Amino acid sequence: MLNNLRILAENRNLDVVLIAAPDNLDYYTDVPSLGDALGLLVYDRRSDSLSLYVPLLEYQRYRDKLPDTVNVYALSKTLKPSGIPVVEADWRDIAKQYASDKVGVDLSHSGPLQKILQQVLGEKAVDVSDDIWKQRMIKSNRELEAITRAVRITIKGVLAVQSSIREDITETQLVGVFEKTVRDNGVSKLAFDPIIAFKPNNAYPHAVPGERRVSSRDLVLVDVGVKVDNRCSDITRMILYGRPTPEEKKSIEAVVEAVEAAIDSVAPGVKAGDVYNTAVKILEKYGLKEYFIHGLGHGVGVVVHEPPYLRLGSETILEPGMVFTIEPGVYFPGKYGVRIEEVVVVTKKGRKVLSRRLEGVLEAF
């Protein structure tokens, strides 16, 4: 992805591009950022050089993973181990070093290093956040392969949850089943904290699993994802434990139909907002429109929520290579919630559902 920085600088006629946001560092370097460690990636078009400045304790990890074409420097004013290119400076000094009239900075993120860049560069800073998002929205073949593998492992985790549901099992115990399964399949990091929720906890779109035990006629909402090669998956399924009530069955049927209709509407050139409207029309037909209280979907990539967003009024035009979720849901406070989520990639002729191997509604026996 490092070459994308060259393309960005060329397209915007910039002397320098500075990348400080952790997820953008992840995207361009393919090296996961950890915790709150800072880093500054610099592409200097004048010398066609790439440099990365990191704290001393992060130096060796990046040096081992990045090609020799990237200069990696450790920032330290005290410790100076031999054999390591230590720069005796702080982040403000580094920013001043690259100040010019044509400096690109991602101003869409907040954080201590971004704040320093804005303070040092002032009006010289050219906001390239939209350019970065446009690059990140179109996935490379390598990214698509990673997301596809992440989806496949996530499916294994969901199936393990399905087969583990039994009388009196808790939400958190099922979270443990999912996590053990995906880690046994080589996953070292989850895309987000798993959501496994029984009635009425699943009436919260972002439910927090607890010690609630499954009941005899329950709806089990499973919203889970993993990271493979630093790319995310995100899938939601409903598992029926016993026979649903007529009202619940209607809600499930409506959400299933909304998912399928929205997927069928995906194609290059279509507005993201139009896909959202397609799903809403189905829910409206069932009298459930007012119970759909969030966007229809979001992009997945380095992080689990990123552009494009499929929501009301979105003018984003879908393009081949975009990967996003489609996840309509309906929620009845104090009673239950239903959501089904698929991962879709836009192709040259239409769309492909990466999560199609797993039915939207499952049963626990």
Predicted confidence band of residue 329 (pLDDT cuts 50, 70, 90): very high
H or E segment and range at residue 156: helix 141-164
Asked if pLDDT for residue 323 goes beyond 80, the answer is yes
Predicted confidence band of residue 7 (pLDDT cuts 50, 70, 90): very high
Distances (CA, A) of 121 to 53, 97, 232: 18, 10, 34
How confident is the model over 245-281, as pLDDT tens digits? 999 999 999 999 999 999 999 999 999 999 999 999 9
What average pLDDT does this structure show over 23-34? 93
CATH code of the domain made up of 141-363? 3.90.230.10
Predicted local distance difference test score (pLDDT) of residue 123: 83
What average pLDDT does this structure show over 315-323? 98
What does pLDDT average to over the chain? Answer: 95
The mean-pLDDT minimum among 100-114, 137-151, 191-205, 259-273 falls in 100-114
User: Any idea where the domains of the chain sit in the sequence?
Assistant: 3-136, 141-363
Predicted local distance difference test score (pLDDT) of residue 115: 87
- The pairing of strands 49-55 and 70-75 is parallel
What average pLDDT does this structure show over 164-191? 97
Whole-angstrom distance, CA of residue 173 vs CA of residue 313: 40
Burial class (CB in 10 A: 0-12, 13-18, 19+), 122: exposed
Predicted local distance difference test score (pLDDT) of residue 77: 87
Predicted local distance difference test score (pLDDT) of residue 350: 97
Higher pLDDT, 274 or 35: 274
Whole-angstrom distance, CA of residue 29 vs CA of residue 2: 6
How confident is the model over 205-246, as pLDDT tens digits? 999 999 999 999 999 999 999 999 999 999 999 999 999 999
Asked if pLDDT for residue 114 goes beyond 90, the answer is no
Distances (CA, A) of 183 to 176, 265, 365: 11, 35, 25
Predicted local distance difference test score (pLDDT) of residue 199: 97
User: Tokens 């509604």 identify what position?
Assistant: 361
What average pLDDT does this structure show over 18-24? 93
Predicted confidence band of residue 1 (pLDDT cuts 50, 70, 90): confident
* Listed residue (200, 196, 203) closest to 215, CA to CA: 200
Cα end-to-end distance, the chain, whole Å: 46
What average pLDDT does this structure show over 344-351? 97
Predicted local distance difference test score (pLDDT) of residue 206: 95
- DSSP-assigned letters across all residues of 340-353: -BEEEEE-SSSEEE
Whole-angstrom distance, CA of residue 333 vs CA of residue 207: 12
What average pLDDT does this structure show over 4-17? 96
Predicted local distance difference test score (pLDDT) of residue 303: 96
What average pLDDT does this structure show over 163-168? 94
Long-range contacts of 159-166 (CB under 8 A, 24+ apart): 159/358, 161/196, 161/220, 161/222, 161/239, 162/239, 162/362, 162/363, 162/364, 163/364, 165/214, 165/220, 165/239, 165/241, 165/364, 166/214
Predicted local distance difference test score (pLDDT) of residue 256: 98
Superfamily of domain 3-136: Creatinase/prolidase N-terminal domain (3.40.350.10)
Helices (H) and strands (E) in the chain, counts: 10, 21
Predicted confidence band of residue 189 (pLDDT cuts 50, 70, 90): very high
Predicted local distance difference test score (pLDDT) of residue 255: 98
Predicted confidence band of residue 363 (pLDDT cuts 50, 70, 90): very high
Is the distance from CB of 263 to CB of 342 less than 8 angstroms? yes
What is the separation of C-alpha 169 from the centre of its chain, rounded to a whole number of angstroms? Answer: 30
Asked if pLDDT for residue 35 goes beyond 80, the answer is no
Predicted confidence band of residue 109 (pLDDT cuts 50, 70, 90): confident
Asked if pLDDT for residue 164 goes beyond 80, the answer is yes
How confident is the model over 55-97, as pLDDT tens digits? 999 999 999 999 999 999 999 988 888 889 999 999 999 999 9
Whole-angstrom distance, CA of residue 73 vs CA of residue 53: 5
Q: Which residues pair with 222 in a beta bridge?
A: 196, 237
Whole-angstrom distance, CA of residue 176 vs CA of residue 276: 33
What average pLDDT does this structure show over 117-125? 88
Predicted local distance difference test score (pLDDT) of residue 205: 96
User: Tokens 């993201």 identify what position?
Assistant: 272
